[in-house]
Amino acid sequence: MKVTVAVSLCWIWAGSYAQEISKSIPLTWSKTDRYIIFPMLVKSPEYKWGAGAAGIYYFKLKQDSLTRTSNVKLVSFVTVRKQIVLASESNIYFPNEDFIFHLTLSASHFPDKFWGLGNATPSSAEEDYSISQFDIYPQLIRKIRPNLFAGINYEFQNVFQFHYDSKQGESLFDRENIPGRYGSVISGTGIVLCWDSRNNAFGSSKGFYIQYFYNAYRDFLGSNYNFNIQSLDIRKYFDIRHNRVLAFQLNMIAARGEVPVRDFSAMGTNMYMRGYYEGRYQDKNLIAFQTELRTPVYKRWGAVIFTGVGKVSPRLPELFDFQQLKPSLGVGLRFALNKKENLNLRVDAGFGKHSQGTYINLAEAF
């Protein structure tokens, strides 16, 4: 689901330099508060290459073992494809984690590609288009028992410019009558349920995570389109011998109603199905499963190997026809920007079916 553009922030710089910056800037509230501010490069199949500036501030509202580290991430960059992105993502853990607040903001001008809907679209169908949009996505959850949370979501997205070649009605957007091809405003709210026993917000080594949310987008809330989206995210982490971590994740997204094009489920993000252009395969429903082995290598350096399968479909039951699953596999390097917080710079090379992607990001994929 393309809720936002580039909310997982993309970074590269010398890790030791970033650490020196975080130590030298006198902008701390306590001994555990830290800033990291540095120039960056971005790399992914969607961006190709880009450059900009980024920063992260991580802190604790209460100094105890029950409250994980909060963080605020900011990024701005321009790519060689003339994409412009401004984004912010915040995760605030209140004392004793009685409340957790998540906020994503983004604004972007984004030339993109479209191959139509479905799990078997041909490469020859590729079309260029571009959008300008902004998004806001707050989420507030409350602890109702240890590790169990419930709360509310809200999303507002305004795609105020949408350009594609509409001459003579030959575009896929026109032939397939794709909703949202003239721009769109969506506004919706819903519920979220979460079980979270992970030991770290940046890179977990043990614990279990499951999140379910349901959002309803309706015209009386200001939305141009009426539709529903449900999402299920399940993760499990095993701390095995010699600080190695084995991690598993299952993602399922299901939508019903008139879903605009920027909110279809898209396979191939920097978080799952790495190796595919995000949106190369997209539709109303998605399933993706991945596993990753993370191992230390030398001092601050580490490595990962990962593999996964996934598919999209117009109808939910078709997701469970496993004959058309797309594969994904890859390897990656890690550099610890902060070993105590398990905050890593990651570089991943993912490979899909007739596809490849390289990703530079902060923190683990899941």
* In the predicted structure, residue 19 carries a pLDDT above the cut 60: no
Q: For 82-91, 107-116, 178-187, 357-366, which range has the lowest pLDDT when averaged over its residues?
A: 357-366
* pLDDT of the residue at 199: 87
- Choose the most confident range, by mean pLDDT, from 67-81, 192-206, 277-291: 277-291
* Range 190-194, long-range pairs (CB < 8 A, 24+ positions): 190/152, 190/153, 190/214, 190/215, 190/216, 191/150, 191/151, 191/152, 191/153, 192/139, 192/141, 192/149, 192/150, 192/151, 192/152, 192/153, 193/149, 193/150, 194/141, 194/148, 194/149, 194/150, 194/151
CA 231 – CA 249 distance, rounded (Å): 13
Four-point Cα dihedral 125, 129, 134, 137, nearest 10: 0
* pLDDT of the residue at 33: 59
Q: Residue 284 carries which DSSP code?
A: S
CA 165 – CA 180 distance, rounded (Å): 15
* In the predicted structure, residue 214 carries a pLDDT above the cut 50: yes
When pLDDT is averaged across residues 294-323 and rounded to a whole number, the result is 94
- In sequence order, what are the beta bridge partners of 295? 303
Q: In the chain, what are the domains? A: 15-362 (2.40.160.50)
Residue 108: which of 71, 73, 79, 139 has the closest Cα? Answer: 79
pLDDT digits (tens, 9 = 90+) for 147-182: 999 999 999 999 999 999 887 668 999 999 999 999
When pLDDT is averaged across residues 40-67 and rounded to a whole number, the result is 84
CA 117 – CA 353 distance, rounded (Å): 17
* pLDDT of the residue at 61: 85
Phi, psi dihedral angles at 10 (to 5 degrees): -105, 130
pLDDT bracket for residue 12 (50, 70, 90): very low
CA 115 – CA 125 distance, rounded (Å): 5
* Pairing of β 127-145 and β 148-164: antiparallel
When pLDDT is averaged across residues 310-323 and rounded to a whole number, the result is 91
Residue 91 and residue 100 in contact, taking contact as beta carbons nearer than 8 Å: yes
CA 53 – CA 25 distance, rounded (Å): 16
* In the predicted structure, residue 234 carries a pLDDT above the cut 80: yes
Q: Alpha helix (H) ranges present in the chain?
A: 15-24, 172-175
* pLDDT of the residue at 340: 80
- In sequence order, what are the beta bridge partners of 70? 59
When pLDDT is averaged across residues 212-238 and rounded to a whole number, the result is 97
Q: What is the overall mean pLDDT for the chain?
A: 87
pLDDT digits (tens, 9 = 90+) for 103-150: 999 999 999 999 999 999 999 999 999 999 999 999 999 999 999 999
* pLDDT of the residue at 6: 38
Residue 136: which of 109, 150, 154 has the closest Cα? Answer: 154
- Choose the most confident range, by mean pLDDT, from 68-72, 185-189, 323-327: 185-189
pLDDT bracket for residue 31 (50, 70, 90): very low
* In the predicted structure, residue 277 carries a pLDDT above the cut 60: yes
* pLDDT of the residue at 168: 64
State pTM to two decimals.
Answer: 0.84
pLDDT bracket for residue 360 (50, 70, 90): confident
pLDDT bracket for residue 333 (50, 70, 90): very high
Residue 61 and residue 94 in contact, taking contact as beta carbons nearer than 8 Å: yes
Phi, psi dihedral angles at 198 (to 5 degrees): -65, 155
* pLDDT of the residue at 96: 86
